[in-house]
Structure 1
Amino acid sequence: MIDTQEFNARLEGLQAVLRERLRLRGRTLEAQLRHAGRRLPKRQRRAGAIILGAQDWMAHPKLARVLDISQVNTAFADLHAYLDGIDPKEDRKTAILRLLGGMVLNLALLAGGLMLLLWWQGAL
């Protein structure tokens, strides 16, 4: 049987990690996982569903006794392992570089189009 206080502490820790690493807002773990959507791989989304199901079962004392502890522990470990590998600073830097790269590509295409237009009009 899982201790309710320990389980709730692990839930709060997971919520804090989701808030820190993925910048997910939400009052509950369910809201955070819903906001995460496809940012989490399929395996981690399943682990989140297992944890949410366990959270529902922990609200009922008789159901909490028959909860599969190993499955819940594996789900927590799986989510933490994935989230520990995420670097928020690196993600931010990658997003900025992708934005700048897209701008440079668009400007290069615009300049090429203008050069082609000028050549076609005989100005070059």
Structure 2
Amino acid sequence: MIDTEEFQAKVVRLQTALSDRMRLRGATLERQLRRAGRRLPRRQRRAGQIILGAQDWMAHPKLARVLDMSGVNNAFTDMHRYLDTLDPREARKTAVLRLLGGIVLNLMVLGGLIYALIRWQGAG
């Protein structure tokens, strides 16, 4: 059995890691995981669901005694292991580069269409 204060401390640490590493806002862990959505791999989404289920069970003293804490601890470990690999600065840089790449591609398509329109008008 785990102490509820220790469990809540782990939840708070996970919330801080989610807000720092993935820039997820939310008052509760459930809201943060919902906002993460598919940005989290399937294994981490399952780990998040295990943690949320354990959070519900920890609210009841009798249910907290029968909770499989090894599975919950593994879920916390999986989440932190994944979040430690993320680099927020690299994610921001990638987002900016993708945005700029999309703009450049759209400008190239527009330039090609304008060129085709000019050639068509000149030939007709």
TM-score by length of 1: 0.95
What is the CA deviation profile of residues 43-81 of structure 1, one whole-angstrom value per residue up to 9, with x for unaligned ones?
111100100111111111111111111100110011111
1:37-52 aligned within 5 A: 37-52=37-52
What code does the residue aligned with 1:17 have? Answer: A
What code does the residue aligned with 1:71 have? Answer: G
Instruction: Please state how far the C-alpha of 1:41 moved relative to its aligned partner.
Output: 1.2
The answer for the alignment partner of 2:118 in structure 1 is 118
The answer for the alignment partner of 2:107 in structure 1 is 107
TM-score by length of 2: 0.95
- In the alignment, the residues of structure 1 paired with residue 117 and residue 11 of structure 2 have an alpha-carbon distance, to the nearest angstrom, of 61
Is 6-15 or 57-66 further displaced after alignment?
57-66
What is the CA deviation profile of residues 15-60 of structure 1, one whole-angstrom value per residue up to 9, with x for unaligned ones?
0000111111111101111111111111111100100111111111
1:84-95 aligned within 5 A: 84-95=84-95
The CA RMSD measured in Å over matched residues stands at: 1.0
1:32 aligns with 2:25: no
The answer for the alignment partner of 2:63 in structure 1 is 63
Structure 2: 5+ residue stretches without partners: none
